[in-house]
Structure 1
Amino acid sequence: MATNIDTTATQSTTMDFSVAGETLEFGNNKTNILAYWKQINAFQTSNKLFKDRPKWKKTTKDSPPFATDLPHYGCILAAKIKDTVTRWAYQTGHHVERRFGWAKMSIAAYKNHCRQFVIRYVQEWEITPHSIGCCTLLSNFEVDQNYKNTNDLVVWVSFPLVDDLTVKLVAWTTTPWTLPLNLALCVNPNSVYVKILDRKVDFYSLKESHLKEMHYTPLFSYFADIKTAFHLLCDEYFTKDSGTAVVHQVPYFGEDDYRVCLVNDVINKDTGSVVCPIDAPCRFTDEAKDFQGQNVKDADKAIIKYLEE
């Protein structure tokens, strides 16, 4: 803010700092000095008086705002050091530009740099194993040291077609606990599928083109409101030798599942439509109400029993 100053009158203004008696009252002196500086508008006046002096070529600016918490002693210390240097330059006869600002700080450019930094690692980082006991990531070395051969349940599950409830698609899985998370089925475009008419040998073949985009009835109603889900997709990441060649899709727990569902707009990573009713210790959350609180592997048999009933 500009201020009209009578420099002649200001220069003739004096103040008596003499102290009577033996006791020095520094507190009162400080109060009087501050009042005097305010009276003569010392800051603006000094800037005007030194305007034509040699300009101090170095500049100092404050650091960016302290974004994560309140300013602390370290912030004040850095500011005082810079202030001391500029005051010294002023007192040695230089004109110092006194303008508050941040050192080359551009919020838009800063945000863009941070975004590029994050995107770089999104492309570089790979999927890592997760410990359900520690709720932390595991290194590949830790996983390699703890592989065990286990016996898993294998189930064949039928999915009724919406257009014809008498026709059911049969898929198989070794992870029954993923069935409550199912959002789609996938068929291979290079395979020929058969429609079994009864328990005899009568059947006729179906090309994948007859199956694509058919809708089916979900096994569980937890995510039935997702309008883009529960229809047939096509992809070649599996072969006709993979079970029934109908693969059930769980985008949150399968890399190929995620890719196929993303490409076919079953899910949208920008809107957060990828569902996961499982917490860090791998227990079902309240979204899967029938199995809430159960460990996913412990829930295998409960899920099979639920489907059988």
Structure 2
Amino acid sequence: MGSIKALPQEFKPKEYEEELLKYWEEHKIYEKLREKLKDRPKFYFLDGPPYPSSDTPHIGTIWNKVLKDAVIRFRRARGFNVHDQPGYDCHGLPIEVKVEQSLGFKAKKDIEKFGVDKFIEECEKFVFHNVKSMTRHFWNFGVSMDWENPYLTLKDKYIEGAWWLVKKAHEKGLLKRGVKVVHWCPRCETTLADYEVSEYKMLKDPSIYVKFPVKNSSNKYILIWTTTPWTLPANLAVMAHPDFDYAWVKVDGDFLLLLKDRVEAVMAEAGVENYEIVEVVKGRELEGLEYEHPLKNEVKVQQSVTGVHKIVLSEEYVRAEEGTGLVHCAPGHGEEDFEVGRAYGLPVVSPVDDRGVFTKDAGKYAGKYIREANAEIIADLKKKGLLFYEGVLEHKYPICWRCKTPLIMRATPQWYIEVTQLKDRFLEEAAKVKWVPEWAGYSRFRNWLERLRDWIISRQRYWGTPLPIWKCGKCDHMVVVGSRKELEELAGRKLELKDLHRPWVDYVTFTCPKCGGLMHRVPDVLDVWLDSGIAF
């Protein structure tokens, strides 16, 4: 009969951990367990993949894995053959920004100078190094998963899975391209998803009240308030609430239009003591009231747009708690503005490029970074006598979650999946799921689904699943490719590519089936959240 070893006087967890892990490895405990359960009923466990953007996992990621491991071990103990493949979310800005930092890059153009091929190879090396390191950390924590066979979203087979999904969306009429107002990072030069807008910074911005001259009047003005003077070159309308009371207020011989309930607060903020309300009108009576753009002479694009510069109505987006109750509307720089503008048939004006720099359409402000142009815009308004009041507002402002640059709202052409077509079905399916606890599951998920918006899937970057769309440069015909095999059939040859990433896949062209022109892949990559979303 064997003897029981005496317990040590001092417990040394590190030594015990190493001894136990060594025992597991030498005796192949995990492999034996899988073999023993291989013919038992299956239990499918999906591991949501972490970013390998560091060689050491975040404590929250480790906690996540330990909780998953508890479920997996419990199911094994119940006799199930558990699918326990771990995964890593290998693409996207988290990786790109880290590699850019290691190479000393400051902007997107540095990648082009360095060479996209070399940059992609650096991203790949970075990922594999961190995957190896993170895997060892998870193993050291005792997480019992199939670490010899993780799924990696950078692999060609996984990329082909994403291509298949995009093609299916196209076949079902869900894949679209159109102008969308998005959160845009001017340093990374790409759009960000709404759920990536999660970090904020306290910034000091101008807080200005601007007088928009009423057309065919020498002393009547629509008074608006904004903290983004740089969006004024893109202004096309002013929003009013149809049911609010608005006042014409006499100030030093001028007549200013603003919300009646905000007159006292605005005048106090501007230091105006002598004023008189001379008339009160309902917002709906103001619809169509035209004005002259305050920077028409300075901004080139404002001299050519038509059917604009008027008051439009909005019940949803005009509030009585701040400003003047008359909202400056720039459809090219705000989601709410875009919606209202579309309802009124307004064009979309956004004289700002990918770097956050004004284009030639911005006239005298062309070539200037938007936030740096604020002072000049304010100075021009002041010279014209159109600046009613200037202050400073310190407020929370969204920044890029990776590079910390202040974000902007910007209208850009994007590819998206029209998931709003499927909302009713999603709600039906969600109701069939057993949520634990129910309030945190169905209630929250249902609320999210009810506010569902179309999914913008394109990103203007490099390290990601290439968008599988080829377009003809001659007739604009589009082909969505669902696999490497299909691409080879279209190209008429066996493809000798390093892999399916940029820039190698960009070299693949083929003849347009419609007009005989040459078809090239569109340059965008897919949203990294689509990568992780197809892990099932």
Tell me the TM-score normalized by structure 1. Answer: 0.56
Give aligned-pair identity as a percent.
27
Q: 1:263-278 to 2 correspondence within 5 Å?
A: 263-267=343-347, 274-278=348-352
Query: For the residues of structure 1 that align with 2:176 and 2:361, how far apart are their CA atoms?
Result: 28
SS at match of 1:308: helix
Name the residue aligned to 2:192: 138
Question: What root-mean-square deviation, in Å, do the aligned CA atoms of Structure 1 and Structure 2 show?
Answer: 2.6
Evaluate the alpha carbon distance shift between residue 141 and residue 194 of structure 1 in structure 2; reply closer, same or farther with a 3 A threshold: closer
Name the residue aligned to 1:74: none
Where structure 2 has 5 or more consecutive residues not aligned to the other structure, the ranges are 1-166, 252-273, 384-536
Name the residue aligned to 1:201: 276
Evaluate the alpha carbon distance shift between residue 132 and residue 263 of structure 1 in structure 2; reply closer, same or farther with a 3 A threshold: same
Q: 1:148 aligns with which of 201, 204, 229?
A: 201
Query: For the residues of structure 2 that align with 1:200 and 1:153, how far apart are their CA atoms?
Result: 25
Q: Is the 8 A contact 1:188 1:240 kept in 2?
A: no
Q: Is the 8 A contact 2:241 2:284 kept in 1?
A: no
Is 1:176 paired with 2:229? yes
SS at match of 1:241: coil
Name the residue aligned to 1:71: none
Evaluate the alpha carbon distance shift between residue 138 and residue 211 of structure 1 in structure 2; reply closer, same or farther with a 3 A threshold: closer
Evaluate the alpha carbon distance shift between residue 293 and residue 212 of structure 1 in structure 2; reply closer, same or farther with a 3 A threshold: same
Name the residue aligned to 1:8: none
Where structure 1 has 5 or more consecutive residues not aligned to the other structure, the ranges are 1-112, 268-273
Q: 2:369 aligns with which of 266, 281, 295?
A: 295
Residues 70-103 of structure 1, C-alpha deviations (whole Å, 9 max, x = no match)? xxxxxxxxxxxxxxxxxxxxxxxxxxxxxxxxxx
Evaluate the alpha carbon distance shift between residue 209 and residue 142 of structure 1 in structure 2; reply closer, same or farther with a 3 A threshold: closer
Q: 1:49-64 to 2 correspondence within 5 Å?
A: none
Name the residue aligned to 2:174: 120
Q: Is the 8 A contact 2:207 2:227 kept in 1?
A: yes
Aligned residues: 189
Residues 214-262 of structure 1, C-alpha deviations (whole Å, 9 max, x = no match)? 1100112232322211011011122222310000110011111111111
Query: For the residues of structure 1 that align with 2:201 and 2:278, how far apart are their CA atoms?
Result: 41
Name the residue aligned to 2:293: 218
Name the residue aligned to 1:230: 309
- Structure 1 residue 137, shift from structure 2 partner: 3.0
Query: For the residues of structure 2 that align with 1:184 and 1:280, how far apart are their CA atoms?
Result: 24
Evaluate the alpha carbon distance shift between residue 132 and residue 202 of structure 1 in structure 2; reply closer, same or farther with a 3 A threshold: closer
Query: For the residues of structure 2 that align with 1:127 and 1:226, how far apart are their CA atoms?
Result: 19
Query: For the residues of structure 2 that align with 1:118 and 1:258, how far apart are their CA atoms?
Result: 27
Query: For the residues of structure 2 that align with 1:266 and 1:192, how far apart are their CA atoms?
Result: 25
SS at match of 1:149: strand
- Structure 1 residue 143, shift from structure 2 partner: 3.7
Write the letter of the residue equivalent to 1:181. A
SS at match of 1:304: helix
Write the letter of the residue equivalent to 2:293. P
The structure with the largest strand share of the pair is 2
Q: 1:95-106 to 2 correspondence within 5 Å?
A: none
Residues 178-226 of structure 1, C-alpha deviations (whole Å, 9 max, x = no match)? 0111011111111101111233334221222331101100112232322
SS at match of 1:275: coil
SS at match of 2:376: helix
SS at match of 2:312: strand
Query: For the residues of structure 1 that align with 2:230 and 2:275, how far apart are their CA atoms?
Result: 33
Query: For the residues of structure 1 that align with 2:181 and 2:355, how far apart are their CA atoms?
Result: 18
Query: For the residues of structure 2 that align with 1:159 and 1:281, how far apart are their CA atoms?
Result: 29
Query: For the residues of structure 1 that align with 2:196 and 2:282, how far apart are their CA atoms?
Result: 45
Q: 1:70-89 to 2 correspondence within 5 Å?
A: none
- Structure 1 residue 265, shift from structure 2 partner: 1.5
Q: 1:191 aligns with which of 221, 230, 244?
A: 244
Q: Is the 8 A contact 2:238 2:326 kept in 1?
A: yes
Larger Cα Rg: Structure 1 or Structure 2? 1
Evaluate the alpha carbon distance shift between residue 158 and residue 138 of structure 1 in structure 2; reply closer, same or farther with a 3 A threshold: same
Write the letter of the residue equivalent to 1:255. E
The structure with the largest helix share of the pair is 2
SS at match of 2:276: coil
Query: For the residues of structure 2 that align with 1:141 and 1:216, how far apart are their CA atoms?
Result: 38
- Structure 1 residue 289, shift from structure 2 partner: 1.9
Tell me the TM-score normalized by structure 2. Answer: 0.33
Q: Is the 8 A contact 1:191 1:208 kept in 2?
A: yes
Q: Is the 8 A contact 1:218 1:224 kept in 2?
A: no
Write the letter of the residue equivalent to 1:249. C
Evaluate the alpha carbon distance shift between residue 161 and residue 115 of structure 1 in structure 2; reply closer, same or farther with a 3 A threshold: farther
Evaluate the alpha carbon distance shift between residue 121 and residue 288 of structure 1 in structure 2; reply closer, same or farther with a 3 A threshold: same
Evaluate the alpha carbon distance shift between residue 139 and residue 197 of structure 1 in structure 2; reply closer, same or farther with a 3 A threshold: closer
Q: Is the 8 A contact 2:169 2:175 kept in 1?
A: no
Evaluate the alpha carbon distance shift between residue 225 and residue 115 of structure 1 in structure 2; reply closer, same or farther with a 3 A threshold: farther
Evaluate the alpha carbon distance shift between residue 209 and residue 143 of structure 1 in structure 2; reply closer, same or farther with a 3 A threshold: closer
SS at match of 1:129: strand
